[in-house]
Amino acid sequence: MTVPKKRVVVLLSGRGSNMGALVEAAKSPDYPAEIVAVISDKANAGGLGLAHEHGIPAIAVPRQGHADKAAHEAAVIAAIEAAEPDLVCLAGYMRLLSADFCERFAGRMINIHPSLLPLFPGLDTHARALAAGVRLHGASVHFVTFEMDGGPIIAQGAVPVSADDTPDSLAARVLKAEHHLYPHALRLVLDGKARFEEGRTVFAGIEPADDAVRLIAPAIA
């Protein structure tokens, strides 16, 4: 089935494997997104090269050359808006966003974070999960609000933690789950099945509990 495609811009700072997963999903005619631009604050981000290989406009907006954070954000916002997106996906974008930035894209910007939020917001999530001794770890996709990694959750993928895991082995298992989770969560939002309303995620046409259970199996496969 061919569906109308919504325009999605991806922001990243690094290798871009989640962006790659979104691009692969979007190749399907029945997937409701087209990745129309990839923007990075790091000129040498691997994700820019990957986007270019896929024929997607890859735009570097480095922090250097801008007087302050506000000027840099204004340039990033201009690059985003030039692509006329319906939705913005953060995929390893390593900058804290200002309240104005978050407000401008409220309900139209989502992020993937490598933990089962609200556990372990911020950095080094895999080492912290191991130190805490959790038996389940995973990733979350959430609407972006000014509270870092604190916006309402759209979908989560869980993976088991093995006794002999290292931060790297756990990260690899979570990343595999992320590559399944992010395209799924983006589809929920673009299909109108997960909406941002008054600071919460409102679901329509799906049972979020069933959805959550379905996201466990692929994560551990």
Query: Which listed residue (18, 145, 156, 201) binds ligand GRF by CB under 6 A?
Result: 18
Give the tokens for residue 84.
């006329």
Q: What's the CA gap between 209 and 150, in Å, rounded?
A: 20
CB of 1 to ligand GRF, least distance (A): 28
* 7/15 with CB nearer ligand GRF: 15
Residues 177, 159: contact at Cβ < 8 Å? yes
Query: Does position 15 bind ligand GRF by CB under 6 A?
Result: yes
| Residue in this structure with the two tokens 């040498």, named with its chain if needed | 44
Query: Does position 41 bind ligand GRF by CB under 6 A?
Result: no
CB of 3 to ligand GRF, least distance (A): 25
Q: Is 113 a catalytic residue?
A: yes
Sole window of 76-84, 106-114, 129-137, 183-191 interacting with ligand GRF (rule: CB under 6 A): 106-114
Query: Does position 91 bind ligand GRF by CB under 6 A?
Result: yes
Q: What's the CA gap between 196 and 88, in Å, rounded?
A: 14
Q: What's the CA gap between 138 and 118, in Å, rounded?
A: 11
DSSP symbols for 143-157:
E--SSTT-SPEEEEE
Annotated catalytic residue within 113, 126, 180, 184? 113
Query: Does position 14 bind ligand GRF by CB under 6 A?
Result: yes
* CB-count burial class (<10 Å; 0-12, 13-18, 19+) for 151: buried
Query: Does position 17 bind ligand GRF by CB under 6 A?
Result: yes
CB of 32 to ligand GRF, least distance (A): 21
